[in-house]
Amino acid sequence: MFLVPGLEKKPHSYDEYHSTLEPKYQDMARDELREEDYTRGPALAQLREFIAKHPQIQRCRTDPLFLLRFLRSKKFNVVAACDMLEKFLIAGELYPDFFTKIDPLGMKHLVEQGIIVPIEQDRAGRLVIILRMGQFDPETVTPEEECRLTTLLIETYMDTEIYQITGIVLVFDLRDTKMAHFSMWTYPKLKMIMTAMDEILAFRIKEIHIVQLPKYAAMIADFCIAALSSKLRQRLKFHKSLEEFKDAIDETILPTIYGGKLSLEEANERFLKRTLEERDRILKHTEMFIDLSIPNPNSKNSNAGLHSNLADESVIGSFRKLNVD
Based on the domain organization, do 149 and 197 belong to the same domain?
yes
What confidence score (pLDDT) does residue 231 get? 80
Based on the domain organization, do 248 and 310 belong to the same domain?
no
11 in a structural domain: no
Contact 126, 163 (CB under 8 A): yes
Based on the domain organization, do 304 and 274 belong to the same domain?
no
Report which secondary-structure segment, H or E, holds 233: helix 230-234
The per-residue pLDDT for range 166-187, each reduced to its tens digit, is 999 999 998 888 888 888 888 7
Full-model pTM: 0.86
- Give the model's confidence band at 133: pLDDT under 50 very low, under 70 low, under 90 confident, else very high: confident
- Domain with 175 in it: what CATH number? 3.40.525.10
The per-residue pLDDT for range 87-126, each reduced to its tens digit, is 999 999 999 998 999 999 999 999 999 999 999 899 999 9
Based on the domain organization, do 89 and 169 belong to the same domain?
no
- Distance from C-alpha of 310 to C-alpha of 312, rounded to nearest angstrom: 7
Based on the domain organization, do 69 and 130 belong to the same domain?
no
The per-residue pLDDT for range 223-269, each reduced to its tens digit, is 677 767 778 888 889 898 888 998 888 888 899 998 888 999 999 99
What is the rounded (10 degree) CA torsion for 236, 242, 243, 249? Answer: 50
What total of structural domains would you count in the chain?
Answer: 2
Contact 128, 121 (CB under 8 A): yes
Based on the domain organization, do 53 and 115 belong to the same domain?
no
Domain that residue 243 falls in: 108-280
171 in a structural domain: yes
